[in-house]
Amino acid sequence: MIKLYHAAMTSSHRCRWALEEAGIQYEIERISLSGGDHKRPEYLAVHPLGSVPALVDDEGRALIESAAICMHVAELDPARRLVPADGTRARALYYQWILFAMTNLDGVIHPAYLRMLRMPPEHHRSAATDDERAALRRQLSAIGPSIAESWLLGDSFSAADVVVGGLLEWAYACGLLQGAGAAESYHARLRARPAFQRAFAD
């Protein structure tokens, strides 16, 4: 069975969500970052940088990089339609939003998120600065029209929503999403999905 090396509220959480959306059977190997599991030789043999996530298939082959894992998982059951058809405009936008998430959105959200991890839980929602909120609002203005009432690609939910949504979950946790307009309601719709709730249940 596929195994996800996972630590809660890290990049691996979007992969767990993708697995839930794709309806794939998987097992979880929990990695304690505070306990240093990720730098032990056994895990370095799976992920050479000692970061989470890593996905290991039935044949023991590892895949790293959370967005690549989400995109791969999304292809495992074509009936779930998590990936638009090859060569279509929707497929082009699918690539666009996933790369946008991992470059533009992550660049704004990640620093606030890392700061949040060093704060006591009662201060998590105030980890972001006003400058970071403004920077995120600017980035989100690019996707605002797409997500006001639908998913990123319209009526069809896709793995692009998982990758973007996973980052918005971080943004929400550290207080970056307040006042972000359409992105706030989009995030609330993402959170209401049963697969999201199963993935983030613990």
33: contact with ligand GSH by CB under 6 A? yes
> How far apart (Å, rounded) are the C-alpha atoms in residues 175 and 120?
14
- Binding segment (CB under 6 A) for ligand GSH, from list 47-55, 71-79, 117-125, 149-157: 47-55
Rank residues 114 and 188 by Cβ distance to ligand GSH and give the closer one.
114
Verify cis geometry, omega within 30 degrees of 0, for the bond prior to 53: yes
Q: With 0-12 CB in 10 A as exposed, 13-18 as middle and 19+ as buried, what is 189?
A: middle
Rank residues 114 and 148 by Cβ distance to ligand GSH and give the closer one.
114
* CB of 179 vs ligand GSH, minimal distance in Å: 25
Rank residues 10 and 146 by Cβ distance to ligand GSH and give the closer one.
10
> How far apart (Å, rounded) are the C-alpha atoms in residues 39 and 47?
9
Neighbour order of strands in the sheet with 62-64: 26-30, 2-6, 54-56, 62-64
> Which token pair is 65?
């990089």
Site string for ligand GSH, 49-78 (x = CB under 6 A): xxxxx-----------xx------------
Interface with ligand GSH: number of residues (CB under 6 A): 11
Closest CA to 182 of 130, 131, 143, 144: 144
* CB of 145 vs ligand GSH, minimal distance in Å: 26
* CB of 23 vs ligand GSH, minimal distance in Å: 22
b/e map 65-93, b = 16+ CB within 10 Å? bbbebbbbbbeeeeebebbbeeeeebeeb
Which residue among 38, 46, 63, 146 contacts ligand GSH (CB under 6 A)? 38
Cα of first residue to Cα of last residue in the chain, in angstroms, is 21
144: contact with ligand GSH by CB under 6 A? no
10: contact with ligand GSH by CB under 6 A? yes
The residues that touch ligand GSH, with contacts defined as CB under 6 A, are 10-11, 33, 38, 49-53, 65-66
